Amino acid sequence: MLWIASLVLILCFVYLVYAIIKPERF
């Protein structure tokens, strides 16, 4: 199930970018 790992990595990356863009949420 390699696609699950890819999905988790993409999700973490998106969350990281979102935290950088909106630091008040973080």
Above 90 in pLDDT, residue 11?
Answer: yes
Asked if 12 and 18 touch (Cβ cutoff 8 Å), the reply is no
Task: Write down the pLDDT at residue 22.
Answer: 82
pLDDT exceeds 90 at position 7: yes
16 closest CA partner among 4, 25, 6: 25
Structure confidence at residue 26 (pLDDT) = 55
pLDDT tens-digit readout, 16-26: 998 888 867 65
CA of residue 23 relative to chain centroid, distance: 14
Which ranges constitute the DSSP H helices of 1-26? 2-21
